[in-house]
Amino acid sequence: MLVGCQGMCYDNREFAGSLLRCCFFGKAGDHGGRKTGKAGKSVQVGLASVSFRPFTAEQVVALSAKLGLQMIEWGGDIHVPAGDLDRAREAAALTRKEGIGIGGYGSYYRIGTYSNPIAEWTKVLDTAVALGTPCIGVWAYNRNKSSLMEREYRSIVAQTREICEMAKKAGLRVALECHPGTITGDYRDSLQFLEDIGYEATMYWQPNQFQDGAYNLRACQALAPHVTYVHVFHWGPKARYPLAAGEREWSLYRDILNRQAKEPDYVLKYMPDNMAESLPRETKALRKLLQK
């Protein structure tokens, strides 16, 4: 069966073979210990399931377990769709059976784009509860702040406050994703949005591949106090590179993030070549980075 991934098609048998080669014949390197941060917090290294959309949940878990990853951020587009509580419980059971934690839930919920936002958010929230995640990743609308009328912006602020309040009642928190083409696409807009919603949400942070290094350092510095999870990859505007090639930049990000009272966890998201064989190398590079 052919399945889609990042605009490309793959035969699932090919991916299953890739998984087996990676897990049983590839060298993952030293798993290493967890880095202990301030106040004894254990900084975790995890994997976003969207990195391998063609894989089944079982395959994602098997790959993570083989490499000693400490958590999985399950995505809502393929592996744990909003409203499918059975899939959520199954993914949670598979993950915990291998001693792996549940990271954030990448829901792909876009604030302000639904005719019945409460009904849509309720599906996301119920799924997150069934999954057992502590945090739900959301997108802040589908346009930049500069393109919005004031009334549009205020509507998004109000809706964000509402979903944050619903999440809080369920014992969860909401995290805004830093994506171009959303209200939180620019770090200055992100800071203003956090203030406008009363700091009811946290942030997922990742460098913006369409901006230069100076911008990303400023963004990391400004948003660091609000960051819960860091999505780790090393991309340019037109190409993807192994994480080790970005060691200098990521060392600077790490130093900024690690100065915070609550250090974030680090989640590998996407491989430079979409292949499972690259995950051991990327995991090793991230662990080396965090152990410095």
pLDDT for the residue 17: 55
pLDDT for the residue 19: 53
Q: Which residues of the chain have pLDDT under 70?
A: 1-41, 261
Q: Are 83 and 73 in contact (CB under 8 A)?
A: no
User: With the CA atoms of 82, 83, 89 and 91 taken in that order, what torsion angle do they form, in degrees rounded to the nearest 10?
Assistant: -30
Q: Are 202 and 175 in contact (CB under 8 A)?
A: yes
Q: What's the half-sphere exposure (Cβ side, CA atoms, 13 Å) at 197?
A: 29
Q: Are 79 and 91 in contact (CB under 8 A)?
A: yes
- Between CA 105 and CA 201 the distance in angstroms is 14
Q: At 39, phi and psi to the nearest 5?
A: 55, 25
Q: Helix H segments across the chain?
A: 12-24, 57-66, 85-97, 117-131, 150-169, 187-196, 213-223, 247-258, 279-291
For the chain, domain boundaries? 2-291
Residue with tokens 């098997």: 62
Q: Tell me if the domain spanning 2-291 has CATH number 3.20.20.150.
A: yes
- Between CA 276 and CA 69 the distance in angstroms is 14
- Between CA 141 and CA 110 the distance in angstroms is 5
pLDDT for the residue 292: 78
Please write the tens of the pLDDT for every residue from 209-243.
Answer: 999 999 999 999 999 999 999 999 999 999 999 99
- Between CA 82 and CA 79 the distance in angstroms is 10
pLDDT for the residue 219: 98
Q: Are 74 and 269 in contact (CB under 8 A)?
A: no
What tokens were used for 87? 């899939």
- Between CA 227 and CA 261 the distance in angstroms is 11
Instruction: Tally the residues of the chain.
Output: 292
pLDDT for the residue 31: 54
> Quick one: angle between helices 213-223 and 187-196, nearest 10?
20
Give 44-99 as a DSSP string.
Answer: -EEEEGGGGTTS-HHHHHHHHHHTT--EEEEETTTTS-TT-HHHHHHHHHHHHHTT
Burial degree of 14 (CB within 10 A; 0-12, 13-18, 19+): exposed
pTM assigned to the model? 0.89
